[in-house]
Amino acid sequence: MAVWKCQSCGAIVEGRCKPGKCKSCNAPRESLEKQPVEKKDKK
């Protein structure tokens, strides 16, 4: 699972692969920036 943040509206989109567009504002995929996912529950 990866997380992308829309640079246009700030929405967080989760998915296994990069979404085609923002689900919230329909911004193109170029507006989605991959976010680092922190897993604190795993050592």
Size of the site for Zn ion (CB under 5 A): 8
Residues 6+ apart with CB under 8 A from 32: 4, 5, 6, 7, 13, 18, 19, 21, 22
> Is the CB of 30 or the CB of 41 nearer to Zn ion?
30
Between 2 and 8, whose beta carbon lies closer to Zn ion? 8
Under the criterion CB under 5 A, does residue 13 sit at the interface with Zn ion?
no
Residues binding Zn ion (CB under 5 A): 6, 8-9, 11, 22, 24-25, 27
